[in-house]
Amino acid sequence: MDLKIIVLAKQVPDTRNVGKDAMKADGTVNRAALPAIFNPEDLNALEQALRIKDQHPGSSIILLTMGPGRAAEIIREGLFRGADGGYLLTDRAFAGADTLATSYALSMAIKKMGHFDLIIAGRQAIDGDTAQVGPQVAEKLGIAQITYVEEIISIADNKIRAKRRLEKGIEIVEGSMPLLLTINASAPECRPRNAKLVMKYKHARTVTEKQNEDTDYLSLYSSRPYLDLPEWSVIDVKADVAICGLSGSPTKVKKIENVVFQAKESKTLSNSDSDIEELMIELITNHTIG
Ligand SMILES: Cc1cc2nc3c(=O)[nH]c(=O)nc-3n(C[C@H](O)[C@H](O)[C@H](O)COP(=O)(O)OP(=O)(O)OC[C@H]3O[C@@H](n4cnc5c(N)ncnc54)[C@H](O)[C@@H]3O)c2cc1C
């Protein structure tokens, strides 16, 4: 059984390094000012796709990422680890998108990609932290979804049986393909880059990247088409601009700030009952808990 798998992967600001210029005046994230990384749980999602391909070698894994031009790095990273290809959904019209607008744009790109069996997303992105995009994409495509997946137990008769890790325990559920899964950080870590694949794909570029670089590898691309990373605009995916980006986003991020705990906020407690009780009363009083 060969499966067509789409992995949704997001390039996120490394929230461990949010500086003062993290936000633009219009309340959108200044992505250019922040070091960017592969969203951690999307690496867990990619690993699940690669494990399916280990079992079903005829399967294909295509990455889909929506973001600014430099998000092409996400596709290269996926190729270095074993994915077969990827699409960069990039257009000024997508900027400032909330989860509704993001999932709409992604679903339009998936419709353009044609037939698929499985979409695998991360549970959550470390910047928006909403865990909404995966389920929203499933809804927009009218397919079933299994979220908080920790392990794919079996794939048979067009059904996937999966183990979900929930706050209060685990759940084993089954769903028919086409299906969307969201993967938890408790699932296995992604395998590292493969040296041979790094050599094969290190020159993989989007058209825009090639234009910005004075690459003298042009002949390379004609002889190795897999090095051409496709870029899709709002027109390419036939999306309605009015429901994309900031204009299509009912949620506007008003302000984000870096919360760094200062030493003066810490308190040393003994493990005496009275100290613990005092702490509990304080945390309940200031609504940190309870
Ligand atoms: C601090 C902050 C708070 C925000 N709060 C909200 C909010 O409350 N409501 C809201 O609607 N928006 C919010 N946003 C905007 C939101 O981050 C963007 O809409 C974002 O594109 C998707 O939401 P998310 O980051 O929460 O992703 P999640 O829903 O957590 O992402 C889940 C999974 O979907 C896939 N995915 C998500 N984005 C992409 C992408 N661009 N390309 C490919 N795959 C993707 C990945 O697999 C990811 O693991 C916030 C942004 C910031 C920076």
Pick left, alpha or beta for residue 158 (phi over 0 → left; psi -120 to 50 → alpha; otherwise beta).
left
Atom of ligand 1 nearest to the CA of 249: 11
* CA 84/CA 254 separation, integer angstroms: 38
Query: Residue 30's pLDDT is what?
Result: 64
Tell me which of 17, 34, 66, 130 to substitute to probe ligand 1's pocket, judged by most ligand atoms within 8 Å of the beta carbon. 130
* CA 263/CA 201 separation, integer angstroms: 47
Q: Which two tokens stand for residue 205?
A: 């570029």
Q: What are the residues facing 152 on neighbouring strands?
A: 162
Taking the CA atoms of 16, 90, 69 and 254 in sequence, report the sign of the dihedral they define. Answer: negative
Atom of ligand 1 nearest to the CA of 125: 30
Alpha carbon nearest to ligand 1 atom 45, residue: 10
131 lines ligand 1 (CB under 6 A): yes
* CA 24/CA 53 separation, integer angstroms: 41
* CA 273/CA 76 separation, integer angstroms: 55
Which letter does DSSP use for residue 280 in this model? Answer: H
Query: Residue 49's pLDDT is what?
Result: 98
151 lines ligand 1 (CB under 6 A): no
Q: Which residues touch 235 (CB under 8 Å, ≥6 apart)?
A: none
121 lines ligand 1 (CB under 6 A): yes
Residue in this structure with the two tokens 């613990």, named with its chain if needed = 276
41 lines ligand 1 (CB under 6 A): yes
The answer to whether 189 touches 43, Cβ cutoff 8 Å, is: yes
Alpha carbon nearest to ligand 1 atom 24, residue: 128
Query: Residue 264's pLDDT is what?
Result: 62
Burial class (CB in 10 A: 0-12, 13-18, 19+), 146: buried
User: What would the DSSP string read from start to end of 106-120?
Assistant: HHHHHHHH---SEEE
146: nearest Cα among 171, 178, 182? 182
- The verdict on whether omega for the bond into residue 192 sits within 30 degrees of 0, i.e. cis, is no
Q: Which two tokens stand for residue 126?
A: 């470390």
pLDDT in tens, the chain (290 residues): 899 999 999 999 887 655 666 666 665 556 666 789 999 999 999 999 999 999 999 999 999 999 999 999 999 999 999 999 999 999 999 998 999 999 999 999 999 999 999 999 999 999 888 999 999 999 999 999 999 999 999 999 999 999 999 999 999 999 999 999 999 999 999 999 999 999 999 999 999 998 887 666 667 888 899 999 999 999 999 999 999 999 999 987 676 666 655 556 678 889 999 999 999 998 888 888 87
* CA 102/CA 119 separation, integer angstroms: 15
For ligand 1, the distance from its centroid to the CA atom of residue 99, given in whole angstroms, is: 5
